[in-house]
Amino acid sequence: MKFTAAALVLAGAVSSVESAVLGERATYAVKGAAEGFAKGVTGGGSAACAVPSSTTQLKTWLSDSTARCIVLDKEFNFKGTEGTVTENGCRPASNKCPGNGGQDAINQASWCTNGNAGTGSTTIKVTYDKAGISGLIVGSNKSIIGVGSKGVLRGKGLRIANGAKNVIIQNIHITELNPQYIWGGDAIAVDGSDSVWIDHNKFSLIGRQMVVLGNGASNRVTISNNEFDGVTSWSATCDGHHYWTIYLTGSNDLVTLKGNYIHHTSGRSPKTGGNSLIHAVNNYWYANSGHAFDNGAGSKVIAEGNVFQNVVTPLLENKGNFFGAPTTTANAACSANLKHTCQINAFGSSGTLGGTDTSFFGSFAGKNVASAAAANAGTIQNGAGIGKI
């Protein structure tokens, strides 16, 4: 694959690594620029891109204090690198199909023993891969980019926390994090960070959340053009659909959720809360057997230009502020605060979304707000995921 420098400019600087590929010179770099709240993120900036030689070197490069452009041109498999653990876990009350497609649980954060597993849960032995439980630490000023559809992290996710900021994760596939277990691992966790752009990635076979913005302040985050693939053989809802998908409950976070294809899930797609301000625009939810949005107290959400196809419950409950039904009157508020006309959501064989609250629109005024187009499932699906930039 060959990109030209002219096509791959980010914030006026191109990070590149040149290597011989079939006798040609290949240039790798972040493509495009973040829209929405994370606008202006530069990642590794002008640092020369490089391909890590091993999982050990990748771990070091991700966590150090050097600005880097890290290229994944193959699979980096972390399964087995930290050994396995056998201990007491549980069969939660939700697992009504044990041995036939259900999902048991690791006792992370005492989840099995503090009552969260539900009445009727039972203690069982669980054996899991230790690497999947904790993500690779990512430091500030990093660009992590995949080549074509070759860049894969297997058995371990990424964690951007403790003040790390200015991070780009683009065009990689994170997969196989103890998918048989609740608490088996998160693909991307952000907590106590700022300026993070998660773009054109794929997430599949994840034990817990595919993307989680934790209780700390993650500040400005754009999650764009990703594929959240919920197809699984271990389902918390016993139907082959992943439940724990996107968790946005940070403290006063600003989150843009745009252009994502979220399919075969059954809940928390996303779960929102924690005083987060969320703009969900031009996403495509398909084949959700439970709920898409679950809007918790304090969360403020504008959902526009999205497609809901075969989604049983687009909005489970609304304990915060939620706008999902553009009207002529509301568009005055959209134009004044978002600087565009809000786009109508589209539904096919789905429940209703609702939500006409515009009282919180002033929170968007003066901020970097992503553009909105008319809802179009094909455009969204064709542009989301790896190998599509």
- Helices and strands in the chain, H and E counts: 3, 31
First to last CA, the chain: 11
User: Is the Cβ–Cβ distance between 350 and 311 less than 8 Å?
Assistant: yes
Q: What is the rounded average pLDDT for all residues in the chain?
A: 93
Q: Are strands 136-137 and 321-323 parallel, antiparallel or unpaired?
A: unpaired
- Say whether both 113 and 254 belong to one domain: no
* Beta-bridge partners for 246: 211
pLDDT at 7: 39
Question: Final residue of a domain: which of 125, 157, 183?
Answer: 125
158 and 90 together in one domain: no
Same domain for 377 and 273: yes
Confidence grade of residue 10 (pLDDT, cut at 50, 70, 90): very low
Is residue 116 located within the same domain as residue 158?
no
Q: Is the pLDDT of residue 3 over 70?
A: no
- pLDDT tens-digit series, residues 169-196: 999 999 999 999 999 999 999 999 999 9
- Domain with residue 297: its CATH number is 2.160.20.10
Element (H, E) at 328: helix 328-337
Residue 188, domain extent: 133-383
**What digits encode the pLDDT tens for the residues 67-121?**
999 999 999 999 999 999 999 999 999 999 999 999 999 999 999 999 999 999 9
Tell me what pLDDT residue 27 has: 82
Is 179 domain-assigned?
yes
Assess whether 307 and 343 both reside in one domain.
Answer: yes
Q: Does the active-site annotation cover 268?
A: yes
Q: How many domains, the chain?
A: 2
Mean pLDDT of 277-286: 98
pLDDT for position 326 = 84
pLDDT digits (tens, 9 = 90+) for 203-229: 999 999 999 998 899 999 999 999 999
Region 372-386: mean pLDDT is 98
What pLDDT shows up at residue 20?
A: 35
Q: Tell me, yes or no, whether 168 lies in a domain.
A: yes
> What percent of the chain has pLDDT above 90?
91
pLDDT value of position 327 = 82
More confident call, 160 vs 325: 160
Catalytic residue among 68, 91, 208, 268: 268
DSSP secondary structure, 259-291, as one string: S-EEESB-S-TTEE-TT-EEEEES-EEEEEEEE
pTM of the entire predicted model: 0.94
Does a structural domain hold residue 96? Answer: yes
Q: What is the mean pLDDT of residues 228-239?
A: 98
User: Does the residue 378 lie in any domain?
Assistant: yes
142 and 109 assigned to the same domain:
no
List CB contacts of 231: < 8 A, sequence separation 6 or more: 204, 240, 241, 242, 263, 264
Per the listing, tokens 């690594």 go with 17
Same domain, 219 and 326: yes
Q: Looking at the structure, do residues 96 and 186 belong to the same domain, yes or no? A: no
276 near 252, Cβ under 8 Å?
A: yes
Confidence of residue 167 (pLDDT cuts 50, 70, 90): very high
Q: Residue 26: its pLDDT value, please?
A: 58
Residue 283 has pLDDT above 50, yes or no: yes
- Answer whether residue 18 shows pLDDT above 70: no
* Neighbour count for residue 155 (Cβ, 10 Å): 24
Residues 117 and 144 in one domain: no
